[in-house]
């Protein structure tokens, strides 16, 4: 009797295929990102839903370029910069990336702590922030890469809660479809600042560094250091495309939730992620509130290792120190100490008067400045046959990349003008 593969087997094979792309995409929807999307939905209803559709191909094309750089060169993005570009360019990227990522970590730790306090009011938010920081430190330092990658991968499932929340509230699906596919723009300062904020959140420099470094880690783990072929590239592209699609869907559903529940409920000003969660409770019910809140903590546990790991890869590759989550602490002390330092500094920023909102704004400015420069460099490397061989960019990738470069350059200029003039 002939047996045919069952559907779950195909799903399991696809799940095993997913890795750096899924984790990178899901980590983009961190507590800071959720705060930005909640602000957009509360302030302008469904008017920014279309940004999720626009952002997906731009994010996917850039992350695929970064992944290919990692696979082909067997170096992270910093390693490629160090090898092929003048030292000042490298140091400038480090100079801007370090504080931007650090502020992002600070905002995420504060957001998780505040949401923990919402769920358990008798325990102060600061205690939760310290608890989450210690938990992450222990997990990152003591667990091997394969375990960390597996935990991060399963944490991605937590984000599915955001796909459920809108269905707990009555929706106008005709308006949702219209808002998704027909862009709506209001030419006032607040709307433009929200659009720029969404772009800065979704297309973040730390994701470029993490993606390339994780592809190298995966190749090392699979002992395929020098064997890059079309199948590996194809699998990577599937992984990245799915990860970015997943990220875009979560972003879409958060804007949808806050854009229908909070906006229609007369709540138009949301500054922090815990305010969004708290505001949902009386309007959408306890279930929606709990799912939203749990999602924030899950995304923080997913995103902070990515943020701190990216920072450590940037610094250690710059100075040629041993790095890698596959190495034990004694084999890569500097790498793990930088991760520990970034988490401790991120936690400390919440105690010296920098609020999560300020951290979010400052990190967006620094990301906004570095993103266009990094995108230009990524495009240059991806089209250099000496570096990439036969795996240079396709015409479609270049069109999407150049469009993203122009868009992010305009966003950076607008962001700076709004902050300083």
Express each pLDDT in 39-61 by its tens digit: 999 999 999 999 999 999 999 99
Q: What distance in Å separates the CA atoms of residue 234 and residue 249, rounded to the nearest whole number? A: 22
Three-class SS of the chain: CCCCCCHHHHHHHHHHHCCHHHHHHHHCCCHHHHHHHHHHHHHHCCCCCHHHHHHHHHHHHHHHHHHHHHHHHCCCHHHHHHHHCCHHHHHHHHHHHHHHHHHHHHHHHHHHHHHHHHHCCCCCHHHHHHHHHHHHHHHHHHCCHHHHHHHHHHHHHHHHHHHHHHHHCCCCHHHHHHHHHCCCCCCCHHHHHHHHHHHHHHCCHHHHHHHHHHHHHHHHHCCCCCCCCHHHHHHHHHHHHHHHHHHHHHHHHHHHHHHHHHHHCCCCCCCCHHHHHHHHHHHHCHHHHHHHHHHHHHHHHHHHHHHHHHHHHHHHHHHCCCCCCCCCHHHCHHHHHHHHHHHHHHHHHCCCCCCHHHHHHHHHHHHHHHHHHHHHHHHHHHCCHHHHHHHCCCHHHHHHHHHHHHHHHHHHHHHHHHHHC
pLDDT at 266 over 80: yes
Q: What is the mean pLDDT of residues 135-146?
A: 86
Does residue 279 or residue 203 have the better pLDDT? 203
Express each pLDDT in 58-96 by its tens digit: 999 999 999 999 999 988 999 988 888 888 888 888 888
Does residue 117 or residue 2 have the better pLDDT? 117
pTM as predicted: 0.90
- What confidence tier does 131 reach under pLDDT thresholds 50, 70, 90? very high
Is 76 exposed, middle or buried, given 0-12, 13-18 or 19+ CB atoms closer than 10 A? buried
pLDDT at 157 over 90: no
Does residue 250 or residue 223 have the better pLDDT? 250
Express each pLDDT in 346-390 by its tens digit: 999 988 878 887 888 888 888 888 899 999 999 999 999 999 989
pLDDT score at 5: 52
Of the chain, the percentage scoring pLDDT greater than 90 comes to 47
- What confidence tier does 8 reach under pLDDT thresholds 50, 70, 90? low
pLDDT at 222 over 80: no
Smallest CA-to-CA distance from 198 within 403, 402, 359, 364 is with 364
Express each pLDDT in 282-336 by its tens digit: 777 788 788 888 888 888 888 999 999 999 999 999 999 998 888 888 899 999 9
Q: CATH second-level architecture of 17-420?
A: Up-down Bundle (1.20)
pLDDT at 226 over 70: no
All structural domains of the chain with their residue ranges: 17-420
pLDDT score at 246: 92
pLDDT score at 2: 53
């Amino acid at each position: 009797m002939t047996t045919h593969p069952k559907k779950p087997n195909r799903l399991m094979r696809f799940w095993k295929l997913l890795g750096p792309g899924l984790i990178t995409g899901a980590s983009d929807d961190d507590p800071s990102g959720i705060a930005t999307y909640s602000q957009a939905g509360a302030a302008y209803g469904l008017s920014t839903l279309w940004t999720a559709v626009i952002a997906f191909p731009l994010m996917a094309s850039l992350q695929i370029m970064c992944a290919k750089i990692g696979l082909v060169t067997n170096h992270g993005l910093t390693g490629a910069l160090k090898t092929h570009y003048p030292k000042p360019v490298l140091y400038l990227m480090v100079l801007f990336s370090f504080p931007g990522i650090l502020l992002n970590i600070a905002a995420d730790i504060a957001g998780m702590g505040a949401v923990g306090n919402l769920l358990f009011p008798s325990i102060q938010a600061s205690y939760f922030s310290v608890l989450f920081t210690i938990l992450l430190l222990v997990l990152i330092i003591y667990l091997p890469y394969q375990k960390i990658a597996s935990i991060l991968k399963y944490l991605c499932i937590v984000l599915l809660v955001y796909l459920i929340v809108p269905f707990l509230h009555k929706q106008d699906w005709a308006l949702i479809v219209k808002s998704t596919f027909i862009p709506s723009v209001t030419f006032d300062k607040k709307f433009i600042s929200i659009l720029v904020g969404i772009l800065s959140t979704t297309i973040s420099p730390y994701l470029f560094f993490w993606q390339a470094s994780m592809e190298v880690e995966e190749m090392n783990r699979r002992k395929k250091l020098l064997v890059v072929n079309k199948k590996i590239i194809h699998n990577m592209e599937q992984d990245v495309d799915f990860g970015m699609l997943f990220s875009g869907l979560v972003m879409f559903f958060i804007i949808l939730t806050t854009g229908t529940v909070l906006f229609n409920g007369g709540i138009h000003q949301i500054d922090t992620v815990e305010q969004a969660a708290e505001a949902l409770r009386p309007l959408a019910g306890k279930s929606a509130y709990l799912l939203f809140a749990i999602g924030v903590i899950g995304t923080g546990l997913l995103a902070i290792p990515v943020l701190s790991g990216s920072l450590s890869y940037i610094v250690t590759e710059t100075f040629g120190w041993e790095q890698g989550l596959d190495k034990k602490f004694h084999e890569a002390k500097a790498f793990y100490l930088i991760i520990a330092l970034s988490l401790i500094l991120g936690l400390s920023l919440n105690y010296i008067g920098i609020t999560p909102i300020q951290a979010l704004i400052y990190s967006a400015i620094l990301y906004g400045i570095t993103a266009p420069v990094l995108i230009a460099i990524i495009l240059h490397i991806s089209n250099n046959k000496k570096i990439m061989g036969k795996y240079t960019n396709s015409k479609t990738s270049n069109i999407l990349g150049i469009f993203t470069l122009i868009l992010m350059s305009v966003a950076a200029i607008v962001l700076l003008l709004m902050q300083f003039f």
